[in-house]
Structure 1
Amino acid sequence: MGRNTRKRRTPLATKIVAGAAALAVGGGGLVWANFYASAHEDHGGHNRTRSAGAQVATIDCPDVGQKIRDVPDRARGEVDGELATMDSQITNAYQRLATTRRAQAGDSQFVQNTILGPLKDRRKAIIDRIQLEINRAGGKADDNLDELAGCQGRPADQQNGGGQNGGGQDGGQDGGGQDQEGDDDNGNGVAGPVADDFVDINDVQPNSRDSRNGLAADGDGGSTGSFTTDCGVNENNLFNSDNLIAAPGVDNGAHHTHDYVGNQDNDAFSSDEDLANADTSCQNQGDKSTYYWPVLRLQDGTQEFDANDQGGGAEGNIGKILKPAEAQIRFVGSRQGDVVAMPKFLRVITGDAKSFTNGDANANTSWSCSGFEDRQVTDKYPLCPDGSQVLRTVNFQSCWDGQNIDSANHRDHMAFVQEDGSCANGFQAVPQLQIRLAYDIPAPTVENGQVQNPYAVDSFPEQLHKPITDHNDFINVMDEDLMNEVVDCINRGEDCQ
């Protein structure tokens, strides 16, 4: 298969992290310090934990990429590269946070002076370069981006902190000088998941999930058909920690490992031509689309192929990679009328890999158990009874702006349907991608505020493996005949495959 041989862009901060991680790897995973003490409580018959301390557990930085608009096409590659470098800087700062607990215990200003302050300066330099690149390419950069340079530290149980407001100048150091001795790494040396990240599915109220970001386009009216494509469950073991959509040309741009089905030439350096000429794992050979998502891992001590690599164990993603037992990939229609064809190479990201620190504005996670699918949760991993599978389901955005296959923040060219199922602001309805992943995972044991052998989604290190960070990515590489078949099938109200 063809490969793009252009030079890889590896951010400087990634090289720094790699060197530091090599010093900290033990037993196949990065040895993170304990982050906060926990108090045990009994809640509705289900053992959970809550934070009993306020020691800084992670780094919360405003997501600059989500604030950028109208980047000229010829500047997008450079801007994406700068944003990837910024992600690596956060990873590097988070690693320093996790490995300097003793120093923090003796100096309440350590985090601010040695981690957050220098991080702000480095981020400011990158923001300045981004503004320059946009302006040089004929765009008009937002003069207020500098307000997003500052980051803050916050406890692990405090979601949606102040990072999005561009604040964090004081470092969030309340209680930061305490040297706490909790065991919230579950004995495996990584930060998260913790007991409070899990919930017994029986304790979830039916039909209680706020699904504003996951509205399904299909319904009783409009275009009621569906098209199912069978692309397997990654039998070819195609894994990498790249992200072709968000960080093209950057090695380890995701800082976590992805599962891939469909297109078999998908990495950060694949051109559209590479994708079009690649093999596919889909049964219908006209579907060379790429479907990918962060892997789930069972933190059972297994040394995977990436145990010492960036994106894997060197960045806290450890344990046995769990492939889904089933991956159902389906396209459905619109409640308000016919759908139109997706353009080839359309890129769509749904969910937010940084939603633990960003907040839930772009979160689109849905966790459940087979047999309990009326009970969906966004910010907990479900504990399923024997014989029940763990489910990850997602409904993608299905309204397209009619012009662009991508946008500066990789979101603005797509939108979810409105409450009535229609597309707003001149957007057009396209087939909605729905993915349902089913896993055979033994339920972790939660006792005395500890979770044994937990499963977790791979994440950016500072996102602490929170379930709300789950996300999915899609690039449409169906040939024209197949896409027209999908559209015709859906608009005729038929169920095809």
Structure 2
Amino acid sequence: MGRNIRKRRSSMATKAVAASAALALGGGGLIWANFYASAHESNSGQNSTKAANAAAQVATISCPDVGQKLTNVPNGAKQGVATELANLDKQITEAYARLASTRQAQTNDASFVQNAITGPLKEKRAATIDRIRINIQRSGGQFNSSLSQLAACTTQAANTNAGQAGGGQQNNGGQQNGGNAGQAQNGQGGNGPVAADFVDITKVQANAQLGVGANGAKANGNGGSRGTFTSSCGTNGNDNHNTDNVIVAPGVTNGAHHLHDYVGNQNNDAFASDQELAGAGTSCQNQGDKSSYFWPVLRVQDGSQDFDQNNDGGGKEGNVGKILQPAQAQIKFVGNKRGKVVAMPTALRIITGDAKAFVNGNANANVNWSCTGFENKVQLETQYPICPQGSQVVRTTNFQSCWDGQNIDSANHRTHVAFAQADGTCANGFKAIPQLQVRLVYNVPAPKLQNGTVVQPYAVDSFPENLHKPITDHNDFINFFSTNLMNKMVNCINTGKKCK
């Protein structure tokens, strides 16, 4: 079948050696050279000073997301295109690792990043995008030539993020977004999170609109479908993990570059076919639900390392610390506030949120961070909450609930589904389907903010160049409800019942 990683975490997790000037992970993983060293050295000449300042502002690499721009990929080209898109992600990961390990060279040479990192990266990306063109045209499809213009990448400062627009309004009394260049590389893995990524939730002005509007429209209107259906699928107590993503990178090992928790379907990895998923076992109490629910793991960076400290997608790519199993994983489907819902098709795929939102911007971000006792008051997007004693961290995700009525997936894995409009209706002839809502609750030791740094932070796993920003949280779903159970769900929701 596949290569799911189901290793039980060892209680003998080793303590990480405290890093000061440099941090090396996993025997060949990311290496961080201290940003501060160059700032305190005496540089000769104005050019050296400019180079040092430029290097200090560069935190990560930002590349246009080719996959999200694809609109039509012929069936015969899908695997080849998926492989090449995964190659683009791998190239960015490698370039980011080089960026993080050459800080001294950057301070000595203002053109180092362009000549040694982003220039060669552009050439690799151009060749890969051309292979995407060849795959599509060989299968009779048409290639959008404007995609060839997406080869060039830029560098990005830690406090520059289109996805964080409005973050200051959420902040109110907490740490401000951004931070200096040294902070940009804080975190046990050398690529975040930083103090600016956290806020004391008790100091944030009430802003919660969870369950209101396009991203969370609940059934509350006359004539709407008011029922609910809950599926109990556990909290991944059997440690079913891997770093694949069968939706966006089928057939590609480590296509996600970060670790996922899986509940429900137990055979989901990069190589799983729909037939294998349909025949798999499930962790759900109702065996008619073999759907796959998966999300990036949450880790506390307490100095320990988990089972994947030397693995791709784990410590080798800056995803370090103790993996936290959710205390609760609530999976619920709700209706549409304007009318009835229809059944989801078998094997429907939905991705919500954007794992690359820090560099992509917030167009596809869908993030709700909060604490128990505060969920109806505060929902955060660009910061992790620091919860008061006795309160737990909560991640809530409301999925797209409108379907085009035809496709179980789309070229960019997004355009076949959509969020309901503010009034609850589905636009463009789309049909209302049950809205999946996933609520994850964690017991997390509260981080402490000290002198502009964060002590014992927690963070979701991410692509390394996205610096473990909270805006990158995301969630994935593949529908494998039996026909009978899906029909039961739809009936329960449309008739106002609460079912399991």
TM-score normalised by the chain length of structure 1:
0.86
1:35–1:55: 8 Å Cα contact kept in structure 2? no
**1:408 and 2:411 correspond:** yes
Q: Deviations over 1:214-270 (max 9, x none)?
A: 232422331000000000000111000000100000000000000000000010000
Q: What pairs up with 1:359-370 in 2 under 5 angstroms?
A: 359-370=361-372
Letter in 2 for 1:394: T
Q: What pairs up with 1:28-177 in 2 under 5 angstroms?
A: 30-34=30-34, 55-160=57-162
Residue 426 (structure 2) aligns with: 423
3-state SS of 2:105 partner: helix
Closer, same or farther in 2 for the Cα pair 1:441/1:29, shift >3 Å? farther
Q: Distance in 1 between matches of 2:26 and 2:346?
A: 45
Q: How far is 1:184 from its partner?
A: 5.2
2:33–2:104: 8 Å Cα contact kept in structure 1? no
Residue 204 (structure 2) aligns with: 204
Q: Distance in 2 between matches of 1:469 and 1:54?
A: 24
**1:465 and 2:468 correspond:** yes
3-state SS of 1:368 partner: strand
**1:216 and 2:188 correspond:** no
Q: Distance in 1 between matches of 2:405 and 2:36?
A: 48
Residue 232 (structure 1) aligns with: 234
Q: Deviations over 1:276-303 (max 9, x none)?
A: 1111000000000000000000001222
Q: Distance in 2 between matches of 1:456 and 1:357?
A: 17
Residue 321 (structure 1) aligns with: 323
**1:441 and 2:444 correspond:** yes
Closer, same or farther in 2 for the Cα pair 1:125/1:185, shift >3 Å? closer
1:34–1:184: 8 Å Cα contact kept in structure 2? no
3-state SS of 1:392 partner: strand
Q: Deviations over 1:324-383 (max 9, x none)?
A: 100000000011111000000000000000000000000000000000012001000000
Closer, same or farther in 2 for the Cα pair 1:212/1:56, shift >3 Å? farther
* Alignment partner of 2:289 out of 287, 290, 315: 287
Closer, same or farther in 2 for the Cα pair 1:366/1:52, shift >3 Å? farther
Closer, same or farther in 2 for the Cα pair 1:342/1:26, shift >3 Å? closer
Letter in 2 for 1:349: I
Q: How far is 1:73 from its partner?
A: 1.8
Closer, same or farther in 2 for the Cα pair 1:316/1:488, shift >3 Å? same
3-state SS of 1:336 partner: coil
2:284–2:290: 8 Å Cα contact kept in structure 1? yes
2:292–2:479: 8 Å Cα contact kept in structure 1? yes
Which runs of no fewer than 5 residues in structure 2 stay unpaired? 4-22, 38-52, 164-179
2:226–2:493: 8 Å Cα contact kept in structure 1? yes
Q: Distance in 2 between matches of 1:416 and 1:312?
A: 32
Letter in 1 for 2:235: V
Residue 18 (structure 1) aligns with: none
3-state SS of 1:103 partner: helix
Closer, same or farther in 2 for the Cα pair 1:284/1:242, shift >3 Å? same
Between 295-304 and 344-353, report the one with greater CA deviation. 295-304
* Alignment partner of 2:379 out of 376, 397, 419: 376
1:35–1:191: 8 Å Cα contact kept in structure 2? no
Q: Deviations over 1:300-339 (max 9, x none)?
A: 1222110010000000000000011000000000111110
3-state SS of 2:182 partner: coil
Q: Distance in 1 between matches of 2:477 and 2:187?
A: 36
TM-score normalised by the chain length of structure 2:
0.86
Closer, same or farther in 2 for the Cα pair 1:124/1:209, shift >3 Å? farther
Residue 169 (structure 2) aligns with: none
Between 127-136 and 181-190, report the one with greater CA deviation. 181-190
Closer, same or farther in 2 for the Cα pair 1:189/1:204, shift >3 Å? same
Closer, same or farther in 2 for the Cα pair 1:213/1:60, shift >3 Å? farther
Q: Deviations over 1:158-214 (max 9, x none)?
A: 0039xxxxxxxxxxxxxxxxxx98365447351210000001111222125697662
Residue 250 (structure 1) aligns with: 252
Closer, same or farther in 2 for the Cα pair 1:209/1:358, shift >3 Å? farther
Letter in 2 for 1:196: A
Closer, same or farther in 2 for the Cα pair 1:323/1:414, shift >3 Å? same
Cα RMSD (Å): 2.1
Letter in 1 for 2:242: N
Residue 25 (structure 1) aligns with: 25
Q: Distance in 1 between matches of 2:28 and 2:110?
A: 32
Q: Distance in 2 between matches of 1:472 and 1:32?
A: 29
Closer, same or farther in 2 for the Cα pair 1:421/1:83, shift >3 Å? same
Between 431-440 and 296-305, report the one with greater CA deviation. 296-305
Q: Distance in 1 between matches of 2:129 and 2:214?
A: 29
Q: How far is 1:457 from its partner?
A: 0.5
1:204–1:376: 8 Å Cα contact kept in structure 2? no
Letter in 1 for 2:286: N
Q: Distance in 1 between matches of 2:77 and 2:35?
A: 40
**1:453 and 2:472 correspond:** no
Letter in 2 for 1:459: S
Closer, same or farther in 2 for the Cα pair 1:239/1:4, shift >3 Å? closer
Closer, same or farther in 2 for the Cα pair 1:34/1:158, shift >3 Å? farther
1:351–1:362: 8 Å Cα contact kept in structure 2? yes
Q: Distance in 2 between matches of 1:184 and 1:387?
A: 30
Matched residue pairs, number? 447
3-state SS of 1:337 partner: coil
Q: How far is 1:53 from its partner?
A: 8.5
1:36–1:55: 8 Å Cα contact kept in structure 2? no
1:28–1:313: 8 Å Cα contact kept in structure 2? no
* Identity fraction in percent: 63
Q: Distance in 2 between matches of 1:139 and 1:36?
A: 51
Between 245-254 and 184-193, report the one with greater CA deviation. 184-193
Q: Deviations over 1:113-152 (max 9, x none)?
A: 1100010011111111111211111111101111111000
Q: Distance in 1 between matches of 2:439 and 2:299?
A: 17
2:356–2:463: 8 Å Cα contact kept in structure 1? yes
1:35–1:98: 8 Å Cα contact kept in structure 2? no
Which runs of no fewer than 5 residues in structure 1 stay unpaired? 6-22, 38-50, 162-179
1:64–1:83: 8 Å Cα contact kept in structure 2? yes
Letter in 2 for 1:207: N
Closer, same or farther in 2 for the Cα pair 1:60/1:36, shift >3 Å? farther
2:183–2:194: 8 Å Cα contact kept in structure 1? no
3-state SS of 1:32 partner: strand
